[in-house]
Amino acid sequence: MRALWLALAAAALPAQQKLPPVRGFPPELLAQQRQLEDKARAIPDGGRARAYMKKMAAVPHHAGSPGSKAVAEYALGLFKQWGFDARIEEFEALLPFPTARVVEMTAPVQFRAKLSEPVMAEDPDSGDAGQLPLYNAYSASGDVSGPLLYVNYGIPADYARLEQMGIAAKGKIVIARYGKSWRGTKAKTAYEQGALACIIYSDPRDDGFWQGDVFPEGPFRPSASAQRGSVMDMPLYVGDPLSPGWASVKGSRRIDRAEAATLMKIPVLPLSYADAQPLLERLGGPVAPEDWRGALPVTYHVGPGDAVVRVKTDFDWTSKPVYNVVATLTGSTQPEEWVIYGNHHDAWVNGAADPVSGAVALLETARAAAELHRTGWRPRRTLKFALWDAEEFGLIGSTEWAEQHAVELASKTVAYLNSDMNTHGGLSTGGSPLLEEFLRQVMRDVRDPSTAETLLAVREKDRKLRVSPPGAGSDYVAFLHHLGIPVLNLGFNAPGSQGTYHSIYDSYAWFTKHMDRDFRYSRGFAQLMATAVLRLSEAVILPHDLSSLHRSLAAYAEELKKAHPKLNLSPVTARIDDLKDRSRQFAEAYEQALPKAAGSPQLRALNQKLTATERMLTRAAGLPGRPWYKHQIYAPGMYTGYSAHTFPGMREAADQGRMTEAREQIQVLADTLRSFNEHADQVITLLNQI
């Protein structure tokens, strides 16, 4: 069947037509690949994406709910209908649901926070049954009272400033605003500072009317809406808190809840700005520094004052089933090389944007592959499309799956592509530098959904395309940080996309009024991902590249030198200089090998070596104090969470003044880079043998 397809494809295009090169494809295969991609990009359809969203965002579908299981089964049915070998892979995870939630002021006046988001006539889903109430998952159970303190964003620097004012958090209930850092690190920092409980609220300056019109008029957060979310200590490890490092299949070993290091040790609850205002009004003490003030009509004081606040939380601490949907199209010539693309399917509530907008584009990408398959085409490599469960609680479905299949995944996966929210606007581009040049070419050849220009042209009006270092924002974490698989994390997102983030108003009504009204960004994203998937699956030589890695490492070293001028980084910078030579040799050898590669007896070994390249940046022992994180170049910052720290081993030691450890970590990194360079030499040798 393949031969027939190729003959048709070749016939459709004049052979002499000049096409820009595509990384990994020799000239004689270029026209055929272009035909395949054109055909694939014509398949995704906005109307279908809309229909999937209507269905998947129709009812609340948080992990552990009947809605989540129904969404998984719906997607499974689609994949099967399209001809995939699809199945649900089930795990179990500790998913605490709240049974008690109180935030109240008991003195000098009585006030009780509503902790609920009202039904809105303009949004029929806002009244759906089965909504998970406002809470922070993995908060401790507790009932505490104390004076209230405003801690700005609740990052360590804010507590240092309070200390300068002579104010300590010990014995107090702190109220922090969302923003600047991941919510889990706000709760952890509050605990480490001795706070009794942590309230996290959405200030309208960062997340509400200061940004623009609020829902229903605009996309931004209305006054009584708040942000649910996990406060798991994700920088330590992700996935089920009771099975760190191994898969939580039914009957597998679990640690005791008391031993689970990623659970918060104090009560944490989120508040809306309507609920927060009466509390902030009662704060005494000094007026807050100017950059600490939000947009509420009150004079922001730091506190404490005469306000006494009580926070009470309790949870149903049971483990619940988690349903991943995995659909496979087996490769024809290299079935043992896998291209995986995933997006989560669980939401906090209805989740039209987060995660359904990303999931519907994934479905249309998968359908494009399936349609091509129906015409007789088969991918060279194996394609896997995955919809993960329990991402919101702590990247659980993807992590348990990655732990379950760790050995196979690490040796077979050529790349993991991830998406999450996909609303409208510009393309955000996170990922491994090894895939940056690959991504640049994909963006060069795919059109922006709203202009006639290519995605690359649109992007490079502002700034040069660079992939940003991956932190802990979505399901790529286990693949990159734990297994050492190169990843890309992509999505269209514009200001306002987070306006109803993790609230009941992230709904079909909100999405179709204020985000991707005609689903052109769903279609456009599926076109982008179909192009990426087909290049990864069909490339004769894998498109991984060393030059952006070299440039990135050199930039990280510069950054570190600026932050810590006294550290002697020369053992590391010498290895980075070695890599510079190799990246040049690699580029030349790649160019030379490409026209001869198809059919070469060394090709399989070469692609296997390329697949293992990112893994050479990991160490089995992991990072100091967090062995689950194996990657030596990136990790989620211990106190930033979402955003990545580069060279995390030495960076964090140096930032926290542990200079002996920092020096040891410089040596560890230098050793890692030395073996990476040896690996690069082997790749170059193989290229030269082609």
Encode burial over 382-407: b for 16+ CB neighbours within 10 A, e otherwise.
Answer: bbbbbbbbbbbbbbbbbbbbbbbbbe
Nearest distance in Å: CB 359, Zn ion: 9
Three-state secondary structure along 223-269?
CCCCCCEECCCCCCCCCCCCCCCCCCCCCCCCCCHHHCCCCCCCCEE
The three-class DSSP label of residue 89 is: strand
Q: Which one of residues 37, 240, 420, 652 is an interface residue with Zn ion (CB under 5 A)?
A: 420
Annotated catalytic residue within 281, 337, 391, 437: 391
3-state secondary structure of 173: strand
| Nearest distance in Å: CB 494, Zn ion | 16
Q: Where does 448-529 show beta strands of DSSP type E?
A: 487-493
The interface region with Zn ion, picked from 7-15, 195-203, 291-299, 414-422 by CB under 5 A, is 414-422
Place of tokens 């087996």: 330
Which range, of 292-300, 420-428, 429-437, 490-498, touches Zn ion by CB under 5 A? 420-428
Quote the least distance from Cβ 344 to Zn ion, whole Å: 6
Residue 655 to residue 283: CA distance in whole angstroms: 33
d(CA 467, CA 427): 11
Please choose, from the candidates 113, 156, 120, 152, the residue with its C-alpha nearest in 3D space to the C-alpha of residue 135. Answer: 113
Q: By CB under 5 A, which span of 108-116, 142-150, 189-197, 412-420 interacts with Zn ion?
A: 412-420
Q: Minimum distance between the CB of residue 190 and Zn ion, rounded to whole angstroms?
A: 24
CB closer to Zn ion, 139 vs 498: 498
Sheet order of strands, 173-177 included? 111-112, 97-107, 308-316, 142-150, 173-177, 197-201, 268-271
C-alpha to C-alpha distance for 680 and 584, rounded to whole angstroms: 11
For Zn ion, give the closer residue by CB, 230 or 432. 230
Minimum gap (Å) between residue 249 Cβ and Zn ion: 24
Contact (CB, 8 A) for 631 and 484: yes
Q: Which stretch in 99-107, 162-170, 413-421, 490-498 sits in contact with Zn ion by CB under 5 A?
A: 413-421
- Closer of 420 and 578 to Zn ion (Cβ): 420
Looking at beta carbons only, is 394 or 486 nearer to Zn ion?
A: 394
d(CA 357, CA 516): 9
Separation of alpha carbons 163 and 68, rounded Å: 45
Q: Name the residue among 136, 132, 142 with its Cα closest to residue 154.
A: 136
CB 239 to Zn ion: min, Å? 16
| Cβ(633)–Cβ(644) below 8 Å | no
Q: What are phi and psi of 2, to 5 degrees?
A: -60, -45
Residue with smaller CB distance to Zn ion, 242 or 352: 352
Taking the least distance from each CB to Zn ion, the nearer of 225 and 632 is 225
Q: Which listed range, 101-109, 419-427, 454-462, 617-625, lies at the site for Zn ion (CB under 5 A)?
A: 419-427
Residue range at the interface with Zn ion (CB under 5 A); choices 9-17, 264-272, 320-328, 416-424: 416-424
Site for Zn ion, residues 630 to 659, rule: CB under 5 A: none
In the complex, what is the shortest distance from the CB of residue 500 to Zn ion, in angstroms, rounded to a whole number?
13
Element (H or E) spanning 75, and its range?
helix 66-81
- DSSP-derived secondary structure letter, 485: -
Task: Using CB under 5 A, count the residues that bind Zn ion.
Answer: 3
Q: How far is the CB of 495 from Zn ion (least distance, A)?
A: 18
Compute the distance between CA of residue 415 and CA of residue 442 in angstroms, rounded to an integer. 15
345 neighbors 38 (Cβ within 8 angstroms): no
How far apart are CB 410 and Zn ion at their closest, in Å?
Answer: 25
Find, among 94, 502, 128, 112, the residue nearest to 315 by Cα: 94
Residues β-bridged to residue 87: 326
CB of residue 93 vs Zn ion: minimum separation in angstroms?
Answer: 16
Residue 326: helix, strand or coil by DSSP? strand
Smallest distance from the beta carbon of 611 to Zn ion, in angstroms?
28
Two tokens at 504? 């009941």
| Closest by CA position to 244, among listed 646, 634, 627 | 627
In this structure, are residues 485 and 409 in contact, taking their beta carbons and an 8 Å threshold? Answer: yes
Q: Where are the beta strands (DSSP E) in 579-661?
A: 634-636, 644-646
37 a catalytic residue: no
What is the helix (H) or strand (E) element at residue 383, kind and residue range?
strand 381-388
In the bound state with Zn ion, the residue whose beta carbon lies nearer, of 354 and 400, is: 354
Backbone angles phi, psi at 458, to 5 degrees: -60, -45
Q: Nearer to Zn ion by C-beta: 203 or 420?
A: 420
Q: Would you say 117 or 420 has its CB closer to Zn ion?
A: 420
60 burial level (CB within 10 Å; 0-12, 13-18, 19+): buried
Q: Cβ(654)–Cβ(564) under 8 Å?
A: yes
What tokens appear for 9 in the block? 């494809």
| Residue (355 or 394) nearer to Zn ion, CB | 355
Tell me the closest approach of the beta carbon of residue 420 to Zn ion, in angstroms: 4
Q: Does 475 bind Zn ion (CB under 5 A)?
A: no
Q: Considering only residues 389-408, where is the footprint of Zn ion by CB under 5 A?
A: none
The residue (of 125 and 420) whose beta carbon lies closer to Zn ion is 420
- Between 355 and 397, name the residue whose CB sits nearer to Zn ion: 355
Residues 324-363 touching Zn ion, rule: CB under 5 A, are 354-355
Q: Which residues are catalytic?
A: 391
Which spans of this chain sit near Zn ion (rule: CB under 5 A)?
Answer: 354-355, 420
